[in-house]
Amino acid sequence: MTFSQATEKKLQDIWSRYPEGRKRSAVIPMLMYAQDEVGQVTPEMIAEVARRCEVTPLQVEEVVGYYSMLNKERMGKHHVQICTNIACLLTGGEELWQHAVKRLGIGHKQVTADGLISLEEVECAGACSWAPCVVDGYEYHHHVTIEKLDQLLDSIQKKVQ
Amino acid sequence: MFNEPHPAEVKVISKRFGLPNSASIDTYLAHEGYQAFLKAVEMTPEQIIDELKLSSLRGRGGAGFPTGMKWSFIPRDNPKPKYVVVNADESEPGTCKDRLLIENDPHQLIEGCLIAARTIGCKLGYIYIRGEYRYLIDIMDKALAEAYAHGWLGKNIKGTGLDFDLYTHSGAGAYECGEESALLESLEGKRGVPRIRPPFPAVSGLYASPTVLNNVETFCSVPAVLRMGGQAYADLGTPKNGGTRLLCVSGHVNRPGVYEVPLGFPMQKMIYEVCGGIRAGKKLKAVIPGGSSSPVLTAEECDFPMDYDNYARMKTMAGSGGMMVMDEDTDIVKVALRTMRFYAHESCGWCIPCREGTTWLRKILTRMDEGTGRRADIDLIHELAKNMLGRTFCPLGDAAAMPTIAFVEKFRDEFEARLRETVVPVTSPDQLIAIG
């Protein structure tokens, strides 16, 4: 399996951080960056990471099954994560979640028909003092209101048109 | 900077936050940066540990274990390589401080790691950052590259003869990996399942080698301890609770934010002065004082000096400093349910009391919240949670049980009121399953 030049460089850089004989340590970060490029974790990716890290594909597979950010299903181009944990619950996170579900017509870990947006109700994203928060991919949005969420979704949908 | 500083704050580890380009090495060097490390080079490991013990710095991640003591457990005659590992897997609901430390002052963290490496004789370290914080991984990587370029990392650092390499490591979304032994498993490329202890990481940590593992904020406090001297640092706080810490205040206050205050700072002053009181003129109902794992306090209980020992006296914990403030309109049953949904989702499933306990508690709390609960459920929630306490492999089980017990014991009337509310007609098969 081949990756873009930038990703390949990143993967090699990650691989080089761990001592000889300990390359298994690179499995999780490598999967994260590889997934960023491909859009999901694929069987080829699992085999590739296993080969590079000197472990069996099964050992990679069990890791993929454990971590919530590693997805075998393809998520949307924009993976919109809405936190409803306590601090966000207290400040309107639940309402944001309901609004997004209604507006997009999709639920938890589902993708819009055009593949543009996926939704996930996430656990605490670490923005409690600036709650409620929505994370688009890796980008944090703080003090989100329904209007701001609509603006975010509008801007995502507009970009494609 | 996300919130305005408050004059009552005592800025030790956040003092560089407001500076222009605060994350750059030039700013750091212009403001006492790396001076503590140079001081540490002149000291023996024993002297560094003595200074840390004198400072009474305690772990800022949750458990509050004395840092000097932790570092002293590293067996220095062990021929294996030793490791420094930073826990930046900040995932405890209510906590958002490590983010600011990395974003605004990454070199302070690097210096803390350097001092740890110097103390235990270690050449390699990792900063384990939760996967969601990708922008912080980028900031940290940039800071690390700067430190290498300026000779503060790598071989023969500043002519001291010391070698130390430090790298970031991305997690991939798992609260459990904030638990130290699960973090080490994850760092080794496995599922984040906790290890049985002892042996503790100080003896057998990363790659079964002696490892110093602390929270971001703890490492960030170390340079200040050496710069000021242990006694001066200790004097900022209360006896056995040295220094300052970052408190992350969220929920129904007028000025939520992350504030640095000395240990022993009065909780009333924190809520009403620093954070400007409860918003919309409402009354305080309760505070979850140290992240979602810490037992809730009623409004009447929220009046004590916030240091580790006083939290313990109040039968709760300082935890990770995540204070979630709830006003009189807050639905405690909903909060209890949301808390349990979190733990049920995050339980790694390794040990049965936690896996089953959190799942059943989630189910029972769900039917309570939906109005289809039974009278016996209140005691059942209490009993189930009590039966989890102390019976799990790692603290996640306790972290789920402790707040639940407190919610039921302190707000039983709200659970009972929920039973009296109108009976919801059964409209979907899911509800029938919930009733069981």
Structural domain boundaries in chain B: 25-236, 244-327, 332-435
pLDDT of residue B1: 54
Backbone angles phi, psi at B18, to 5 degrees: -85, -5
> Do A22 and A95 fall within a single domain?
no
CATH 3.40.50.970 corresponds to the domain B25-236: no
Q: Which CATH number fits domain B244-327: 3.60.15.10, 3.10.20.600, 3.100.10.20, 3.40.50.720?
A: 3.10.20.600
pLDDT in tens, B380-433: 999 999 999 999 989 999 999 999 999 999 999 999 999 887 565 566 666 655
Answer yes or no: do B338 and A55 touch at CB < 8 A.
no
Answer yes or no: do A29 and B207 touch at CB < 8 A.
no
pLDDT of residue A13: 97
Q: Does A75 touch chain B (CB under 8 A)?
A: no
Residue B244 distance to chain A (closest CA, Å): 19
> Do A133 and A86 fall within a single domain?
yes
Residue A16 placed within a domain: yes
pLDDT of residue B434: 53
Q: Does A66 touch chain B (CB under 8 A)?
A: yes
Q: Which residues of chain A have pLDDT under 50?
A: none
Quote ipTM for the complex.
0.97
Residue A123 distance to chain B (closest CA, Å): 7
Q: Does B250 touch chain A (CB under 8 A)?
A: yes
pLDDT of residue B436: 44
pLDDT of residue B323: 97
B132 contact residues in A (CB cutoff 8 A): 69, 125-126, 135, 138
Q: How far is CA B374 from CA B389, B418, B421, B434, in A?
A: 24, 10, 12, 11
Residue A71 placed within a domain: no
> Do A46 and A83 fall within a single domain?
no
Answer yes or no: do A126 and B258 touch at CB < 8 A.
no
Q: Which residues contact B2 (CB under 8 A, 6 or more apart)?
A: A129, A130, A142, B100, B257, B258
Among residues A14, A46, A66, which one ends one of the domains?
A: A66
Residue A73 placed within a domain: no
3-state secondary structure chain A: CCCCHHHHHHHHHHHCCCCCCCHHHHHHHHHHHHHHHHCCCCHHHHHHHHHHHCCCHHHHHHHHHHCCCCCCCCCCCEEEEEECCHHHHHCCHHHHHHHHHHHHCCCCCEECCCCCEEEEEECCCCCHHHCCCEEECCEEECCCCHHHHHHHHHHHHHHHC
Residue B327 distance to chain A (closest CA, Å): 9
B94 contact residues in A (CB cutoff 8 A): 86-87, 124, 128
Q: Which residue in the set B95, B174, B330 is minimally distant from A126, CB to CB?
A: B95
Domain limits for position A23 = 5-66
pLDDT of residue B77: 87
pLDDT in tens, A30-56: 999 999 999 999 999 999 999 999 999
pLDDT of residue B421: 76
Among residues A66, A87, A117, which one ends one of the domains?
A: A66
A31 contact residues in B (CB cutoff 8 A): 172
* Cβ–Cβ pairs < 8 A, chains A and B: 151
Q: Which residues of chain B have pLDDT under 50?
A: 436
Q: Does A130 touch chain B (CB under 8 A)?
A: yes
Sheet holding A78-83, edge to edge: A110-111, A117-122, A78-83, A134-136, A139-141
> Do A84 and A11 fall within a single domain?
no
> Do A49 and A109 fall within a single domain?
no
CATH 1.20.1250.20 corresponds to the domain B332-435: no
> Do A61 and A87 fall within a single domain?
no
> Do A88 and A148 fall within a single domain?
yes
Residue A129 placed within a domain: yes
Helix (H, G, I), strand (E, B), or coil: what is residue B165?
strand
Q: Which residue in the set A26, A62, A68 is minimally distant from B174, CB to CB?
A: A68
Number of domains in chain A: 2
CATH number, domain containing residue A49: 1.10.10.1590
CATH number, domain containing residue A103: 3.40.30.10
> Do A54 and A90 fall within a single domain?
no
> Do A106 and A144 fall within a single domain?
yes
Q: How many angstroms separate the CA atoms of B316 and B324, rounded?
A: 14
> Do A16 and A37 fall within a single domain?
yes
Q: How many angstroms separate the CA atoms of B228 and A6, rounded?
A: 44
